[in-house]
Structure 1
Amino acid sequence: MRSKKTSNGAGLAMGARVAGAVLLLCALGLIAWNERRVMDYTAALTRHGSPVLDLGGAGRPAAGQYGSTTRVSGMPQVVDAPRDAEFNVRSDSPVLVRHVEMFQWREITVGGNTHYEMDWVDHPIDATGFAKPAGHVNPGAFPVQGRQFEAGEVRLGNFRLATEIVRDFPGRVDVPVDEKSLPANLAATFTAHNGVLVTSSKPERPRLGDLRVSWEAVPLQDMTVLARIDGDTLVPGKAARTGDAGFDVQVGDRSLLDVLPALPEAPNAVVVMRAGAYVLAIFGALLLAVGGRFHRDILFATGVGVVVVSAVAGAMWLAGDAMAASVWLLFAVLGAGLAIWRVQQRTGRPTH
């Protein structure tokens, strides 16, 4: 008869092996679930179009990024500020805009009643189309035109921005001017009044044909840009549909999902789940070896656990990504090598 102690030991060994088998199955289930969600996310990105990189404010141009869409955020840096050379007005901003208005007659019809008043208007008004043009004739073409000036170079993070993206920056702030900075030929015509230039001898009482010139600039503020990488420059990507600019600009530090809501959300804790699968597999292999030749052999258990988890993950990636499958199978080979080495150490002879 076997002793009670021997029976208890055999029972404990069997229980440990059952627990080991359960842990090993849990490890395989965990790695299969984790890799499936990573594969689904990768497939969703492929359906979306070009790869999407979330570089934030610290990303740098690097090999292999060409053509990828990326999110970059931070405070824009104006390297070459815009300047209105005609009026000698400059602003440390991405965009400088000159507005020109003329004091002109306007025709206003309300409830069938037509009346005329003079006001500042940013385009010539043709009075010949008025119901009563007599006495309401406007001067015609402006002698000075409105214009927009873009900075020679604007950077966001470590990337230059294409002019099309800079032009889309939102917000406007007034740029006050001083007549002392005007060229001599314009100083004789214009007078500064409340931060703008006017040709009126009495700015509070403008007359027909007087001009008013003012400037606005795009303010410097934290921005988030989603665009395509072309070397060290962010440029518009290929428009997915009519009316799409091929890029997006938003104020503030916005997340990738804020800027691109249609983008699938990246799976969380991918590396942690992979590490957990390895740990479960290694402990499962340890328990399976209880009472056997490799009882408490942590190195052998590590080799077996790495082989099992890596082989399953590698097999899953074979059809979708040969590179990822190769990395997983390399880990499986390394795990197998560790296990074989432990077998050789225990038996004292090579295995075939």
Structure 2
Amino acid sequence: MSWRRKVSMRGLALDVIGALLVLAGIGLVATTARSLLNYRAVAGLHGGEVVDLGTNSPPSGGQHGAMARVVGTPTVVEAPRDPDFNLLVDTPVLVRHVEMFQWREVRVGGRAHYELDWVDHLLDASRFEQPQGHANPTRFPIDGKQFDAGLVRLGGFALGPELLHAIPGTQRVTPDPAALPANLAASFSRYQDYLVTSARPGDPRLGDVRVSWNEVPLQQLTVVGRVDGDRLVPATDAADGRGFVVQVGDVPVLDIFPDLPVPPEFVLSWRILSVLLASLGAFMLLAARRNRHDPLLALGLGALVVGIVASVLWVGDDTLTMFGWLALTLLGLLLTGWRLHRAR
């Protein structure tokens, strides 16, 4: 094989390898961008990308407006109190239930039967098939209510009311008759986990009232919400219509949002590698076509090509990232122009 033919074959090989490396750099930056954009698009349905703050993390600068995942057991700073019964409980949410012993109509085989039972709302006896002899009281002497803690913290974050109400689980509270105000102590006595007005609690009569309370237990939680100063609140602009999640235990983000793709890792490293691949390809193309071995010119061309492609991909999605790639493109253009000018 002649010397000229060997040189020609070597140049062709460098051309092919160089072009493939440039395309590999472009493909790598495009694949990384698509993966990140897809992740952000799905995350946006739930309020945005989630910053994983881990266990009992305090707020810090730069987090405002971001979605955050925090794990820990809530701390009740200002406990809820039922002022009517003077009941104070260390819980995020305290609920008072009130029931009255009333007649209720039960239909069996098309026939109406009547029995006395505890019911948490008024039953209108006038609507019974046989109202005579089954009259019920016309009002409750006291109503059921919900009492929220004044302040509950998870790590260093205060939980908004929507997040408090979403905490799962409930358990019965044992009341303390000794704490009752004087006006209620004369009417109520404790029976099991209730306060009742029955003279004989085991044998209640029509119109007797019983009151009970349920609390939300303190347990390890995983909370995802929007950071608003030192508070976690719902993301009101979330497309899923919820904008927050509260689950029991230490739950990973990908288990909380199963539709979320796996976020790309080592994004910065892949971006740097894409520029280096394109630059290496440009170096080989220059060596094959112009017999030039100028690493700085090749680096400028690699940054210019990859920067242009990446800038276009980020248009309309992330202005900051787009301007970052435009800055790299400009640097690549300046470096290329400087090396070409020096070559002349």
TM-score range, shorter chain: 0.7 to 0.9
- Partner residue of 1:84? 82
Superposed CA deviations along residues 59-107 of structure 1, whole A, max 9, x for unmatched, are 84756855x7x35443433322111122122222221001111222223
What amino acid does structure 2 have at the position aligned with 1:278?
V
- Partner residue of 2:308? 311
C-alpha contact (below 8 Å) 2:71/2:223 kept by paired residues? no
CA distance in 1, matches of 2:12, 2:127: 102
1:151 matched to 2:149? The reply is yes
1:251 matched to 2:250? The reply is no
Change in Cα spacing, 1:29 to 1:235, as seen in structure 2 (3 Å) is closer
CA distance in 2, matches of 1:106, 1:142: 16
CA distance in 1, matches of 2:92, 2:217: 8
Counterparts of residues 117-132 of structure 1 (less than 5 Å): 117-132=115-130
Aligned CA-pair RMSD: 4.0
- Aligned partner of 2:24 among 23, 26, 40: 26
- Partner residue of 1:237? 236
What amino acid does structure 2 have at the position aligned with 1:203?
P
| TM-score relative to the length of structure 2 | 0.77
What amino acid does structure 1 have at the position aligned with 2:13?
G
CA distance in 2, matches of 1:321, 1:195: 57
**How many pairs were matched up?**
336
1:329 matched to 2:321? The reply is no
1:113 matched to 2:111? The reply is yes
Change in Cα spacing, 1:293 to 1:249, as seen in structure 2 (3 Å) is closer
Q: How far 1:273 moved relative to its partner? A: 3.3
C-alpha contact (below 8 Å) 1:165/1:235 kept by paired residues? yes
CA distance in 2, matches of 1:171, 1:222: 12
What amino acid does structure 2 have at the position aligned with 1:83?
R
Superposed CA deviations along residues 95-141 of structure 1, whole A, max 9, x for unmatched, are 10011112222232212333322221112333344444444333442
CA distance in 2, matches of 1:323, 1:109: 68
SS of match in other structure, 1:180: helix
SS of match in other structure, 1:86: coil
| TM-score relative to the length of structure 1 | 0.75
- Partner residue of 1:184? 182
- Partner residue of 1:210? 208
SS of match in other structure, 2:327: helix
Counterparts of residues 13-92 of structure 1 (less than 5 Å): 15-36=13-34, 38=36, 52-57=48-53, 58=57, 60=59, 65-66=64-65, 70=67, 72-75=69-72, 76-92=74-90
CA distance in 1, matches of 2:8, 2:285: 13
Change in Cα spacing, 1:18 to 1:195, as seen in structure 2 (3 Å) is same
SS of match in other structure, 1:115: strand
Change in Cα spacing, 1:168 to 1:283, as seen in structure 2 (3 Å) is same
